Structure 1
Amino acid sequence: MAADNPLLSPSTLPFGLPDYGAIGTEHYLPAFAEGFARQREEVDRIAANTDAPTFENTMAALEESGELLGRVASAFYTIASADATDAVQEIEEALAPQMSAHHDAIELDTRIFSRVQSLHDRLEELDLSAEQRYLVERRFREMSRAGAGLGTTDKTRLTAINERLAVLTTTFEKNLLTDTNALAVVFDSADELDGLNAGQLSSAAQAASDRGLDGQYVVTLPLFTGHPYLAGLTNRDSRRRILEASRSRGRRPGAHDNRPVLLEIVRLRAERAALLGFSSHAAYVTADETAGSPAAVRDLLRRLAAPAAGNAQLEYEKLRAIAASDGVEVAAHDWAFYTEKLRHAEYDLDTAALRPWFEAERVLQDGVFFAAERLYGITIAEGHDLTAYHPEARVFEVTNPDGSALGLFVLDLYTRDTKRGGAWMNSIVVQSALRGTSPVVVNNLNVNRPAAGQPTLLSLDEVTTLFHEFGHALHGLFATVTYPSFGGTAVFRDFVEFPSQVNEMWIFWPEVLANYARHHETGEPLPSDVVAKLAATEAFNQGFATSEYLAASWIDQAWHSLSAAESSREIDVAEFEAAALTDIGLGEPTVPPRYSSTYFAHVFSGGYSAGYYSYIWSEVLDADTVEWFRENGGLTRENGDRFRDRLLGVGGSKDPLEAYRDFRGRTAEIAPLLKRRGLED
C-alpha cells in the first residue's frame, strides 16, 4: 500500500511538507482508513497494558499514537479549506462522521480514562517536568469534559450526537461556499461600478472572465457582512445589490438553506451539554477557556455594547448630515460610503486612495517579514523549489537567528471559488520534540486577483489582515514543545487571537511603515501628513466597528446559551437574531452584525462556537501588550526575544494567563482597550 499511496510514508520533502504533486484525491480515503486502524491498534495496546500506569506508558504513548492519521488529516484539511473541489468536498463529507467516531472511541475509552485518572490522582507523587504535569492535567480535564466518565447509554447517545454534528458543520460550510459563489453580483457595465479604482475594476472583470462572462463584471462576496467596495461605489443601487446578496447567503429556501442546518446544530450542542452536566453549550465551552463562564463573557460584552452603540449613533448623525445633501436617508449599504466622505471632511483623508502605497509583495516582504526579522532576528526566504497544494500557494523557508532551520511558511493570498471565505492560519506539520517534527504553517487570505499584468494593491483592511494572520503563523512557528498536543497554536480559544492581534501593531510603527508603504510606481513613501492623519483617526468609526463585532458575538452567545429544552422549541432564525440584538441594544438596522447566523462560519462550521467573543477578550491582552512594547523601546531584539521565549514559544504547554503574567509582569488591564476603541467614557 505504501508504494501506491504517497500519504502512507513520511514525506521526504523539507520539514515534512506533503508532496502534493504526487498526492491524488484517490489517495486520501485509503490513507485515512489506514490511519484510523493504526491508531486504534496503538491505543488498544496502551489500554490493555497490565503494567501500572506511568507517564511514559500512558501519556507519552498516547502522544506518540496517531502519527499517520495526524499527518494525513493535516494534509487533507488544508486543501479542504483552501481548494475544495467537488471531489474534495465529497471526501470531507464521507470523513466527517468517521473522524468524529474515531475521536470519540479514544476520548470515551474507559480503560484509557482510568489510566489517565490514576496519574492525575497521583500527580504530587510523580517526578514530572512542568510540561508533563500540565499534559496530565489537560488530558484528564479534556477526557472528563468529553464524557469519558459517562455510563454506556449516555456514551452511545453522545457519540451519535458528535457524528451528526460533524456532518452538519460540514454541510453548513459546503452550503455557504456554494451560495457565496452563486450570489456573486454580476454587473453589465463599468458605469455601475463607478468609484472603484483600476485594480478593483480589473479584479471584477477577471472574476467575470473566469466565469465565462466576458465583457461583464463580477463582485465576489467576502465572508463578513459588509464589502470593501461599498466605501467607494457611487451607484447606490450597486451598493444595495452587493449588501443584499451578502446578507441573503444561506437563508434562501432551497438546497443550500442553512437555517435548518444551524437549528439542528444548536439543538444537538445543547443536548450534548446537558448530557455532560452543563446548562448550555456556552457553559460547556467557556468552562475550559480563560473566561471561565458565560456570565463573564456577557458582562464584558454588555459593558462595551452601550458605549459602542452610543458612539455609533453619534457617527450616524454625522453621516445623515452629509447624506442629506444627496437626498439620501442613510441605510446599511450607505454607511461605508458616507463614512469615507466624513473621514475626508474631518481629516482630509481618503483611505481608498492609499492602495497605490500598499502593493502586496512590498507589504509582505518589506512590512510583514521586515518587522518579524527585526523583532525576532529570523530570516524568511522563498523556497522556489518547493511546491504546496495549489499553484498560487508560495512556500518560504524560515531560519533562526543562529542560522538553524526553524520551519516553513506557506502563503495563499488570492480568492478563488474553491476556497472558503475569510482569512486563517493552519498547521500542516506541528512542532514536537517527541516526534522530531518542525513546523509548517499556512496563511490563507481572500484578496481579489487583478487582471494579468496589473499590480495587487491592498486596502488598509487587507494590510491589517496580512499582518494579523502572520501573527498566528509566528505563534505556530515559534512554539517549542515536547508533546504534539501542545504544539503550534494549541491554546485556549479565547487566547489564540492574542498573538495575531499584537502583530498588527507593526503596521503603523514608523520604521516599518516607512519601509513598505511606498508608491508602487514612483517609490515615494506615504506622505508624512497622511501618516499623521491615520494616527489621528485610530478611533474613527469605532462605534460602528465595535458594534458590528459585538452584535455578532452576542448572536453567538444567544444561540449557545439556550438550554436543551429551549433549543427544542420552534425557532424562527430572523426573529431570534432580532430579539437577541434588541436585548443587548445593538439592533440598529444601519449597523448589521458582522456575521449573521446563516453565514456565521466561525461558530457553525469552525471552532468558535460560543467563542466568537475571543477577539475582544484577547484584545484586552493585546492592547495592554502594545503599551508594554511602547514603554520598552518597541521593535528591538530584546523585546522580541522576551515575547518569543515567554509567550509564543510555550505554545499550549502552560496556562496562557500564567504565561502572559510571566511576560508582562502583571495581569492585563482593560484601560488600553477602552482607549483604543474610544470607549473610555
Structure 2
Amino acid sequence: MGTDNVNPVLAQSDLPHGLPDFASISDDDFLPAFTDAMASQLAEIDEIANNAEPPTFGNTVEAVEFSGRDLARAAGIFFNLVGPDTNPKRNEISRELSTLLTDHQNTIAMNPVLFERISKVHGDADDLDLDEPRRRLLDKHYRGAVRAGAGLSPDQQQEMREISSRLALLTTTFSQKILDDSNDSAVFVDDASALDGMSAGEIAAARRAATEAGHDSGYLIALELPTSQSVLTELTDSAVRRRVFEASINRCARGNDNDTTELVLEIVRLRARRAELLGYSDHADYVIAEQTAPSAEAVDDLLRELSESAMRAGERELDDLRVLAGDAEIGAADYTYWLARAARSKSDVPLDDFADYCELETVLTRGVFYAANVLYGLRFVERPELPAYHPDVRVWDVLDESGRSIGLFLGDYFARPSKRGGAWMNSIVDQSTMLQTQPVVVNVLNLTKPDDGEKCLLTVDQLTTLFHEFGHALHGLLSAVDYPSQSGTSVPRDFVEFPSQVNEMWALHPSVLANYARHHETGEPIPAELATAARESAGTESAHGTIEYLAASVLDLAWHQLDTAQAEAITDVAGFEAQALRAAGIGTDLIPPRYRSTYFNHIFGGGYSAGYYSYIWSEVLDADTEQWFLSEGGLQRENGRRFAQSTLSRGDSVDPLVAHEELIGRKPYIEPLLARRGL
C-alpha cells in the first residue's frame, strides 16, 4: 500500500493517459485491489438497481456501463502483466481471480431487480429514439444478462454460477500448464553441430537459454506455441528435427503435472451443459449467435469447401516436395524443411538474405510507423522516461496530424520464459469519449532477443506478424466511441482479426519496403530482385499452412458441436481428435493441426472457443479489402481516412459488416481469398 493508504493499483495515475506506474505496484497489491474494486462496483450496482426513478437508458444501461471503473483499471494492469511476464505469485493470483471475477460478474448479471430494469428499457427500445451505438449498447447489456443466466430459475442459476466459476479456473489453469510444459519440453543438444542451419543469432540465443536453464554447456531450443516450429525449416539434421517436432506435438499430453487431457474433457462437458441450460443446441451455437457468421452450419460449409480444395493442393505440393527430396524421407517433422528448400529452388535469389534487410528497429520506425503515418497521419515519439512493466518494453506517444497525443503504444517484442507463446495485442486503458479516456495498448511478440551489440533480424513470417499485431493496435488507438465496452477491438470475435489482417498488406508493399529495407550492416537498399522474390514467396500461402490452420478450426468446432450426452461420452482426447479430422476429410499424419487439443490455448485457455474459424472468416473480408485499397490507389491518406472512419474508429458502435459493405460498396467476394491461398 502507498503511504496515503490508496492501493497503488487503484490510484489515479499522473502519467500520460493513465499509464500505470508499474514500479509502484507489487504483486501483493493485486488481490486487495480487486477485492475493494469489486465491492465498490457492487455498491454502484445496488444503487442503480434500487433507484426509485423509473428505468431509463441513462439511469440504468448507461449507469451500468460506467460502473466498475476501479475494477477496469485493476484488470487492465494485472491481466496485461500475467500474459507477457508471469511468475508463480501472479499465476496463483490469476487462478484465484478467475473464480472471484466470474462470481462477481454473475452476481451483477443475475441481480433480479437490475435485470428487471434492463428488461423494461429493452422492451421499450423502439420508443426511445436511440441512435445505433446506444441501441447496440442496450442490446449488448440485455443479451449479456440473458446469456449469463438472468432468465433461468433459481436452481438453474446456481448451476450456471458453478459452471462459470469452474470454467474460469479450468481455462486459466490450462494456459498456465501450456507455458510450464512448453518451457519443460525445450530441446537440449550438447553439440553445436546439431544446430547446423540455424543462424548465428539463433544459436547464441539457444546457448543463452541453456545457461539460464542451469546447463553448464550445450544449447536449448525453446518451443513456440504452434505445432509447427519455425526452426524446423532450418535444421539440416533430420534427427534433431524429429526431436523438436515430437517435443512440440506431445506437449501437455505426457502424463506429468502439466498434462491437460482431463482439463480438455471437463471444459468441453461444462460448455455443452451451459449451452443446454440456455437453450442452445451446443457451445458452438451459443458462441456463434454473437458473431457475424450467420450460423455454425455456415462456418462448417466454408471450412468444408476450403478443406476439399486445400487437400487437393496439398497432394500436389507433397508430390513436388518428394521429387525435390529424392531418397530422403519426408515425415511430419521434415515437411516445412522441404517446403523451405522448394521455395529456394524456385528462385534464383537467395531468400535467406531477406532478413539482412529486415532489422526490427528499422522496420518499426521506417515500416510499421511509416505506413501508419502515410495512411492515418499518426506520428510515434518514443518516451523512454515513461515506466513499463519490463525492461524490454518500450513506450511511444502517439500523435495525430495536429500534434495532439491520442494515446500510448507499448512494444514488448522479445521472448522470455515468463511470457506465454504467440503474439497478441492488449489494452491497458480503453478509449471512451464520455469517460475522457484515451487508449493505452500493447503489442506482444516472441522474437529471439539478440545478444548485446547484435541486431534482431526478421523473417518474412515475423515481419508479417509485426504488422498484423500493429493492425490490432491501430484498431485500439484510432477508436472514437462513447462507451468503453464498444471501444477498439471489442467487436465480434470473427471480425476482430479483419483490421489486423488488412494491415499485413503493407509489410511488403513496394513503397513501404523501399522505405525500411536496408542492409543492417552496410545500409544498402534491398536489391529489386530480392524484394520481388520476397513478395512472391509471401503472396500465396502454402497448402501445408492452409491445411494445418483448417484442421485446427475443424477440431475447435468438433469439440464444441457436441451436446451434453456426446461430451460426457468422450474419454479419449487423442482418439476424438483423430476421428474428427478424418470425418472432415482433412486428417493427415504429415500435417497435424496448427494446435493439438492439449495445447490449443486459443480455445481452451483464451477467448476463441468455437471461434478459431475467425481468422479465415475475417480473411475473406481482408483479401477483398486489399483489392479495394489497391484499386483506390493503395497507400494514400484518403484511403486510410476512409478505412479508419468506416472501421477502425467505430469499434462495436455499429454493425461491422454493414460498415464494411458501405466502404467497398458491395458485399465481399471470396475469390481474392481463394487466389491468395492458392486454392
Deviations 1:580-602 (A, max 9, x none): 11111111111111111011000
Q: Residue 249 of structure 2: which of 247, 250, 253 is its match?
A: 247
Aligned partner of 2:443 in structure 1 is: 443
1:367-446 matched pairs, under 5 angstroms = 367-446=367-446
Distance 1:271 1:86 in 2: 32
2:302 is the counterpart of 1:264: no
Structure 1 pair 320–461 and aligned structure 2 pair: CA distance change class (3 A): same
1:94 matched residue in structure 2? 96
Could you list the runs of 5+ residues in structure 2 that have no partner in the other structure? none
Q: Is the 8 A contact 2:415 2:447 kept in 1?
A: yes
1:539–1:678: 8 Å Cα contact kept in structure 2? no
Note if 1:69 corresponds to 2:71: yes
Q: Deviations over 1:153-186 (max 9, x none)?
A: 1000000000000110011011111100000111
Letter in 1 for 2:675: K
Cα pair 1:396 1:410 within 8 Å, conserved: yes
Q: How big is each residue's C-alpha offset from its partner over 1:174-222, in whole Å with a ceiling of 9 and x where there is no partner?
A: 1111100000111111100001111111111121222232431111111
What are the residue-to-residue correspondences of 1:147-166 with 2, within 5 Å?
147-166=149-168
**Is 1:582 equivalent to 2:594 in the alignment?**
no
Q: What does residue 233 of structure 2 align with?
A: 231
Letter in 1 for 2:324: I
Look up the match of 1:491: 491
Instruction: Find the counterpart in structure 1 of residue 118 from structure 2.
Output: 116
1:137 lines up with 2:142 in the alignment: no
Contact conserved, 1:225 with 1:247, CA < 8 A, in 2?
Answer: yes
Query: Structure 1's 532 and 570: CA in aligned 2 closer, same or farther, altered over 3 A?
Result: closer
Deviations 1:441-471 (A, max 9, x none): 0000001112222211111111110000000
Match of 2:481 in 1: 481
* Aligned equivalents of 2:615, 2:29: Cα separation in 1: 37
Corresponding residue for 1:533?
A: 533
Q: Secondary structure at the match of 1:568?
A: helix
Distance 2:132 2:337 in 1: 54
Q: Which residue of 2 aligns with 1:339?
A: 339
- Rounded Cα–Cα distance in structure 2 between residues aligned with 1:399 and 1:539: 32
In structure 2, distance between residues paired with 1:384 and 1:314: 51
SS in 2 for 1:98: helix
> Judging changes above 3 Å, is the alpha-carbon distance between structure 1 residues 540 and 633 closer, same or farther for their aligned structure 2 residues?
closer
SS at match of 1:647: helix
AA paired with 2:630?
A: R
Question: In 2 relative to 1, CA 540–53 (structure 1 residues): closer, same or farther, beyond 3 Å?
Answer: closer
Secondary structure (helix, strand or coil) at the match of 1:519 reads coil
Per-residue CA distance 1:85-120 (angstroms, 9 max, x = gap): 111111111111101100111112222221111111
Partner of 2:223: 221
CA contact (8 A) 2:275 2:281 kept: yes
> In the alignment, which residue of structure 1 is the partner of 2:322?
320
1:540 Cα deviation after fit: 5.0
Partner AA of 1:522 in structure 2: T
Q: CA deviation at 1:347?
A: 2.2
SS for the counterpart of 1:6 is coil
CA distance in 1, matches of 2:678, 2:538: 9
Distance 1:349 1:317, change over 3 A: farther
Which is worse superposed, 493-502 or 379-388?
379-388
How far apart, in 2, do the equivalents of 1:349 and 1:98 lie? 57
Q: Do residues 25 (structure 1) and 19 (structure 2) align?
A: no
Deviations 1:288-344 (A, max 9, x none): 1011211011000001001111111111111111222xx322001111111121112
Query: How far does the alpha carbon of each residue in 1:246-296 deviate from its partner, in whole angstroms, 9 at most, with x for none?
Result: 111110102110000111000000000000001110010001101121101
Counterpart for residue 302 of structure 1: 304
Q: 1:541 to 1:125 in 2, by over 3 A?
A: closer
Distance of 2:608 and 2:393 partners within structure 1: 26
Q: Map residues 53-64 of structure 1 onto 2, 5 A cutoff.
A: 53-64=55-66
Contact 2:84 2:419 in 1 (8 A): yes
Can you give the 5+ residue segments of structure 1 that lack an aligned partner in the other structure?
none
Give the whole-Å Cα distance in 1 for the aligned partners of 2:314 and 2:348: 21
Compared CA separation, residues 129 and 309, structure 1 to 2 (3 A) = same
Match of 2:212 among 203, 210, 213: 210
Q: How does 1:168-179 map to 2 (within 5 A)?
A: 168-179=170-181
| Offset at residue 350 of structure 1 (A) | 4.2
- Identity, % of aligned positions: 48
Q: Which residue of 2 aligns with 1:104?
A: 106
Matching of residue 330 in structure 1 with residue 323 in structure 2:
no
Q: Which residue identity does 1:93 align to in structure 2?
A: R
**Aligned AA for 2:555?**
I
Q: Which moved more, 1:504-513 or 1:529-538?
A: 529-538
Are the aligned partners of 1:340 and 1:350 in contact in 2 as well (CA < 8 Å)? Answer: no
Alignment TM-score, normalising by the size of structure 1: 0.98
The equivalent residue for 2:518 is 518
Runs of 4+ off more than 4 Å: 538-541
Residue equivalent to 2:566: 566
Deviation at 1:646, TM superposition (A): 1.3
Amino acid at match of 1:157: E
> Residue 83 of structure 2 aligns to a residue in which SS?
helix
User: What CA deviation, in whole Å up to 9, does each residue of 1:336-377 have, x standing for no partner?
Assistant: 111121112222354433211111111111111111111111
The 5 A counterparts of 1:564-643 are 564-643=564-643
* Stretch deviating more after TM superposition (371-380 or 122-131): 122-131
Cα contact 1:424–1:444 (8 A) shared by 2: yes
**CA–CA separation in structure 1 for the residues paired with 2:42 and 2:666:** 44
Alignment length (residue pairs): 677
* AA partner of residue 138 (structure 1): K
Paired with 1:44 and 1:565, the residues of 2 have a C-alpha distance of 39
Distance 1:170 1:340 in 2: 36
2:298 is paired with a residue whose SS is helix
Flag the 1:351–1:589 CA change in 2: closer, same or farther, 3 A.
Answer: farther
Displacement of 1:538 in angstroms is 4.3
SS at match of 1:650: coil
Name the SS of the counterpart of 1:443 in structure 2.
Answer: strand
